[in-house]
Amino acid sequence: MQRGPFNRRRILAASGAMAGALALPGGVRTDSQRESIRDAHARPILFQGGIVVTGEERTGVVPRRQDVLVRGDRIEAIGTGLSTRDAHVFNCRDKIVTVPWIDTHVHGWERLLRYRADALGFLDYLGTITGEDLSRMTAQDLALGEYAEAVSALDAGVGTMVSWCHAIRTRDDALTVLRRLYQAGGWTVFMHGYNSLAFATANPGPDLSDVLTTFREAQRLRYNPGGGGILKAGMAVVGPEFTPDLGQITSQVKWLDDTNKKLGTDNLLSLHDGIPGRHDARPGVKLMADAGLLRRNQLHVHGVVLSDEELSALARTGSGLSLSPAIDARVFGGVLAHDRAARAGVPPAVSSDDAAIGGFTLRDHVRALMTAQHQSATAAQQPLMTDADALATVTRNAAAALGLERMGVLLKGYQADVMLIDARRLDVGPVMAPTAVGAVLAAPPAAISHLMLGGRWRKYDGRLLGVDVDRLLDDVTAAIQRITAR
Ligand SMILES: [Zn+2]
């Protein structure tokens, strides 16, 4: 390794071209440190004395001060007074130690068009964002938007993002986006989708031979030595509420069954259903259940008006459910009640959906779900949704919905994904152990001081590692100006 003065900009540029992440063996360097920040692969790290929010609070676990020992890419132990042994001690007295969040459905390419559809109805959104704007976007533009979304998510403590890419027109679009997401340094589940504008046509796609190419590339890429990587892939499809018959969904489900078997993968199929209006005539989940097309490796999104019978059908097959409450309320006029889904045995995940519509963050959606649930529960004199219920929607429920093993909670033997929240801030505090779940929900991105994924630092002392933020903002601004110039 080169010694002497450290040129951050040059290394960032070089690593940006290579992997996008500032990866050095066993650690990373930053300008401010002037010394190596060693990760848990170089030497075990003992997060000592922080308030630990495991993500298991819904099952009755109460946050308390304890230690978390991380070695390599695993959580080796959690408990009080853990021996330091060979570990580097990281003092967490003023921190909450918790698990990063998982965003189960985001159209990341829209980051370039953020806020642009703030007051557009659904059809105008389709025409403007997925129509006219998308037609002016190159594969590189899509990839830039997805990359910007992914690193913004990391900054906010979202370690895993499901890129539900409903802008794919060609094989090259998909591969360009996938490779750029790999460079972002977070965990990605990449859903190869279709051009949304085609959703009402006879064959909206995606092209299955292109999807196969994407699946193979996702398998090849896997882990990024600099941090994060591609966890799995999938295909995003229109779903039977928007098609005249079950022909398409039948062949897509069967194709995915065969392909997963052939590749040895557990790739997903995702679709939007439970959509008011569409669901009346063609209830998607019911139609799929009756035809034997529900699977465990499916992610059903929105689900606004799913019936109890449909929720039970999802529970029986173990299919995932993801709600986007702020957008569900705005675009579809309602939000599926959290307690109905939970009672039926489908603990729902929450996702952020379209950046172009209002620019909601994942936190905003969790808040929106709570507000909707509190409103209906209070009116019906039912028990209120708790902070622990809310946290589960972006941690353990989300990992379960995606079939991600050893993720979504802080537990011995689980993947070393750790987020530290600065507890000594006016916008977070006062932080007391028994009520710390509420503080996790309230913490803004600026309060996320550190983020570790798979034992590797991705954010340290408030700074994203391996991301040249100034350059990214310049690139994004230039792209937006070109795309939206009329
Ligand atoms: Zn969506």
What integer pLDDT is reported at residue 18 of this predicted model?
37
**110 Cα–ligand 1 center, Å:** 11
Residues 314 and 425 reside in one and the same domain: no
The domain tally of the chain equals 2
Sheet containing strand 158-165, strands side by side: 349-350, 320-323, 298-302, 268-273, 229-237, 187-192, 158-165, 101-107, 353-354
pLDDT tens, position by position, 6-60: 344 443 343 433 343 444 445 555 554 444 689 999 999 999 999 999 999 988 8
Residues 342 and 429 reside in one and the same domain: no
Q: Give the Cα separation of 57 and 71 in Å (integer).
A: 24
Q: How far is CA 369 from CA 42, 59, 310, 393, in A?
A: 41, 20, 20, 10
Q: Give the Cα separation of 291 and 294 in Å (integer).
A: 8
Confidence band for 4, pLDDT divided at 50, 70 and 90 = very low
Q: Give the Cα separation of 55 and 395 in Å (integer).
A: 6
Residue 479 within any structural domain of the chain: no
Q: What single string gives the DSSP state of each residue in 229-273? A: EEEEEEEEE--GGGSSSSHHHHHHHHHHHHHHHHHT---EEEEEE
**251 Cα–ligand 1 center, Å:** 22
What integer pLDDT is reported at residue 198 of this predicted model?
79
Confidence band for 453, pLDDT divided at 50, 70 and 90 = very high
Residues 131 and 194 reside in one and the same domain: yes
pLDDT tens, position by position, 296-328: 999 999 999 999 999 999 999 999 999 999 999
* Helix, strand, coil shares, percent, the chain, to 5: 40, 20, 35
Domain boundary among 351, 377, 402: 402
Contacts of 10 (CB under 8 A, 6+ apart): none
pTM of the model: 0.93
Contacts of 455 (CB under 8 A, 6+ apart): 39, 40, 41, 70, 71, 72, 73, 74, 416
**164 Cα–ligand 1 center, Å:** 7
Domain containing 455: what range? 8-99+407-470
What integer pLDDT is reported at residue 203 of this predicted model?
82
Question: For residue 112, which phi and psi values (nearest 5 degrees)?
Answer: -65, -25
Residues 80 and 160 reside in one and the same domain: no
The average pLDDT across 359-388 equals: 94
Query: Among residues 410, 407, 446, which one has the least CA distance to residue 428?
Result: 446
Range 173-177, long-range pairs (CB < 8 A, 24+ positions)? 173/139, 173/142, 174/210, 174/211, 174/213, 174/214, 175/213, 175/214, 175/217, 176/139, 176/140, 176/142, 176/143, 177/109, 177/139, 177/142, 177/143, 177/146
What integer pLDDT is reported at residue 396 of this predicted model?
97
- What residue has token string 């690593």? 15
**384 Cα–ligand 1 center, Å:** 27
Cis peptide bond N-terminal to 44, omega within 30: no
What integer pLDDT is reported at residue 195 of this predicted model?
85
**329 Cα–ligand 1 center, Å:** 13
Residue 232 within any structural domain of the chain: yes
Q: How far is CA 437 from CA 223, 348, 434, in A?
A: 31, 18, 8
Residues 398 and 411 reside in one and the same domain: no
**226 Cα–ligand 1 center, Å:** 30
Structure tokens at 374: 């509190």
Q: Give the Cα separation of 183 and 17 in Å (integer).
A: 9
Residue 485 within any structural domain of the chain: no
Residue 177 within any structural domain of the chain: yes
Residue 81 within any structural domain of the chain: yes
Residues 51 and 124 reside in one and the same domain: no
Q: Give the Cα separation of 117 and 359 in Å (integer).
A: 9
Residues 105 and 95 reside in one and the same domain: no
Residues 110 and 92 reside in one and the same domain: no
Confidence band for 202, pLDDT divided at 50, 70 and 90 = confident
Per-residue pLDDT for 405 more than 90? yes
Residue type, 484: T
Residues 44 and 154 reside in one and the same domain: no
Contacts of 71 (CB under 8 A, 6+ apart): 40, 44, 87, 416, 455
Question: Is the dihedral angle over the CA atoms 355, 22, 407, 437 positive or is it negative?
Answer: negative
**67 Cα–ligand 1 center, Å:** 39
What value does the mean pLDDT of the chain take? 92
Structure tokens at 311: 């929720």
Residue 481 within any structural domain of the chain: no
**190 Cα–ligand 1 center, Å:** 14
Residues 71 and 150 reside in one and the same domain: no
CATH code where residue 324 lies: 3.20.20.140
Domain boundary among 354, 376, 402: 402
Contact assessment for residue 346 and residue 311, using Cβ atoms and an 8 Å cutoff:
yes
Residue type, 46: L
**196 Cα–ligand 1 center, Å:** 10
Residue 249 within any structural domain of the chain: yes
CATH code where residue 40 lies: 2.30.40.10
Residue 194 within any structural domain of the chain: yes
Question: For residue 144, which phi and psi values (nearest 5 degrees)?
Answer: -65, -45
Residues 31 and 143 reside in one and the same domain: no
**270 Cα–ligand 1 center, Å:** 10
**272 Cα–ligand 1 center, Å:** 7
**239 Cα–ligand 1 center, Å:** 12
The overall longest dimension of the chain from CA atoms, in Å, is 69
Q: How far is CA 60 from CA 33, 63, 253, 383, 388, in A?
A: 40, 10, 38, 16, 9
DSSP 8-class letter at 92:
-
Residues 38 and 84 reside in one and the same domain: yes
Domain boundary among 402, 431, 454: 402
For strand 45-53 and strand 64-71, is the pairing parallel, antiparallel, or unpaired?
antiparallel
